[in-house]
């Protein structure tokens, strides 16, 4: 609804590692972008960082 197509346009112009993350109303992101799905957003971002940076965490 807002800025339709702009996320994809930005994604297409990036030359670095990237992933287009889509959030749905069913996941709680129906309130313009992702504010309703803050925990899901953070989980996806941190998972992406772990995968992209190849981070392994040892639990002591």
The residue among 19 and 58 whose pLDDT is bigger is 19
Beta-carbon count within 10 A of 37 CB: 20
Pick the closest to residue 33 from 25, 12, 19 (CA basis).
25
Contact 46, 55 (CB under 8 A): no
pLDDT at 9: 94
* Phi then psi dihedrals of residue 36, to 5 deg: -75, -10
Q: What is the pTM for the complete model shown? A: 0.62
Domain positions in the chain are 6-53
């Amino acid at each position: 609804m807002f800025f339709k197509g702009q996320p994809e346009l930005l994604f297409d112009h990036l030359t670095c590692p990237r992933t287009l993350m889509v959030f749905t109303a069913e996941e709680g992101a129906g309130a313009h972008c992702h504010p309703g799905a803050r925990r899901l957003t953070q989980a996806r971002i941190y998972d992406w960082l772990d995968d992209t940076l190849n981070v392994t965490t040892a639990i002591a």
